[in-house]
Amino acid sequence: MISKPKGTLDFLPDDAFKRQHIEKRLREIASLFNYKEIRTPTFEKTELFKRGIGEETDIVSKEMYSFHDSEFTLKPEMTAPVIRSYIENSLYNVAPVTKLYYISNMYRHERPQAGRYREFSQFGAEVIGSNEYIADVELISLGVFFLKSFGLNDLKIKINNIGNLEERAEYIKDLKDYLLKYSVDLSEDSKRRLEKNPLRILDSKNPNDIKILENAPVINEYLGNENKQHFENVLNGLKSLGIDYVTDYKLVRGLDYYTSTTFEIVSDSLGAQNAVLGGGRYDKLIEQLDGKPTPAIGFACGIERLTLVLEASTYEFPEEQSPQLYIVTSGDEARKKAVEISYRLRENGIYCELDLLNRSVKSQMKEANKYKAKYVAVIGEDEIKTNEVKIKRMNDGSESGIKLDEITNYNFN
Ligand code: AMP
């Protein structure tokens, strides 16, 4: 038997229905905030991610699904593709601020575990064109609004400001100097990162690294007035919306393009992979991808992880709609008629079902009950002869008759 590739998921009908529910909610909320949907190709030029995300990041250095015989890569994230499309389609000519959202599958060659897959999907939002703190506040509040709409109130919002490129360079220099003093004691991963990407050491889960980091310099002290003020304004803005947060000066996130505000929403109900949503400002990315210098901010929320959080919470997913009518048949003539009637009913927007296996009346009734059909009509030889059928309402057993040819006029509500 051929099984699915490692790190991928099948969405069987019940799971797919949950997904539909989440996506419907996402679209409704994105509309409330006036974000428009964008869709981009499943694969892009590998160069886009190398330049956009950064060669030394985990994603680009070891997780990309690149085709060995071409210049393409399955997208590991959506910000670089969105920005590529923004520049390529001159969206800056349409409006000074562009607010976009997406729901899309992503591909990363990671070590699969609970909440971490090789194919997963993200809902994300981007505000391109504003460096005002209110853009940060609105974007973060969109993510929070969405999660709260499911009754998730105990999520933790972590926020930081990682400065502009100059402030960060200064900080990285000092951080590196500090860590070099302890380099023999650092974990192997952190030792490797010390040269290539020392900021990532701040993400280390190694207890010894964490101890060493306790006295390390913090980015907050390297911020210039502008970023300090921006950070304070964002925090005050969130406060005014009643959004609780914790500042976390170690929150740098794994992608090179971030500047200034970074944030993450974590849930205790997830294990090691506890981040549900993450994002930040990327004011330099657009020029890095040959666009005009344009500030922007965005986030991405993992939909599988969100589903895990919801399943562990008290949230009740709605039940899938059940058929309004189940047509039970007995005999060839009745079956022929039922196929015709069901098609006409469906043309009239009535959700109905009928047996496709030529089963006994008893097993068809059983199936009607299993589907929780609201009404049942039994068509046999008599009904064909008289052109009359009884429609039974299942919750109280009441029955009323109608001409078979007029069944589409029946009120099945
Ligand atoms: P990132 O694009 O790495 O900033 O991740 C943003 C969000 O996407 C995370 O908070 C997760 O919810 C989700 N995510 C990232 N990587 C994976 C993965 N391999 N499997 C499932 N969800 C993921």
Q: In this predicted model, what pLDDT tens digit does every residue of 11-53 receive, in sequence order?
A: 999 999 999 999 999 999 999 999 999 999 999 999 999 999 9
- Whole-number Å distance, alpha carbon 191 to ligand 1 midpoint, is 25
Residue 1 pLDDT:
95
pLDDT confidence bin for 55, thresholds 50/70/90: confident
pLDDT at 370 over 80: yes
Residue 254 pLDDT:
67
pTM confidence score: 0.93
pLDDT confidence bin for 305, thresholds 50/70/90: very high
H runs (alpha helix) in 294-410:
303-312, 332-347, 361-370, 381-386
Domain made up of 325-409: CATH architecture? 3-Layer(aba) Sandwich (3.40)
Residue 203 pLDDT:
85
Nearest CA among 354, 341, 344 for reference residue 383 = 341
Residue 270 pLDDT:
79
* Ranges of CATH 3.40.50.800 domains, the chain: 325-409
pLDDT at 197 over 90: no
**Non-local CB neighbours of 375 within 8 Å, separated by 6+ positions:** 324, 325, 326, 391, 392, 393, 394, 412
- Whole-number Å distance, alpha carbon 7 to ligand 1 midpoint, is 13
Contact residues of ligand 1, CB 6 A cut-off:
77, 108, 110, 115-117, 120, 122, 254, 275-278, 300-302, 304-305
pLDDT confidence bin for 386, thresholds 50/70/90: very high
* Ranges of CATH 3.30.930.10 domains, the chain: 13-163+223-312
Q: Under CATH, what is the fold of the domain 13-163+223-312?
A: BirA Bifunctional Protein; domain 2 (3.30.930)
Residue carrying structure tokens 């030792």: 191
In three-state secondary structure terms, 393 is strand
What mean pLDDT comes out for the span 102-116?
Answer: 95
Which percentage of the chain shows pLDDT scores above 90? 88
Averaged pLDDT of the chain: 95
Residue 382 pLDDT:
95
Q: Which of the listed residues 22, 78, 122 should we mutate to test ligand 1's pocket, taking the one with most ligand atoms within 8 A of CB?
A: 122
**273-296 burial, b if ≥16 CB within 10 A, otherwise e?**
bbbbbbbbbbbbbbebbebeebbb
pLDDT at 139 over 80: yes
pLDDT at 255 over 80: no
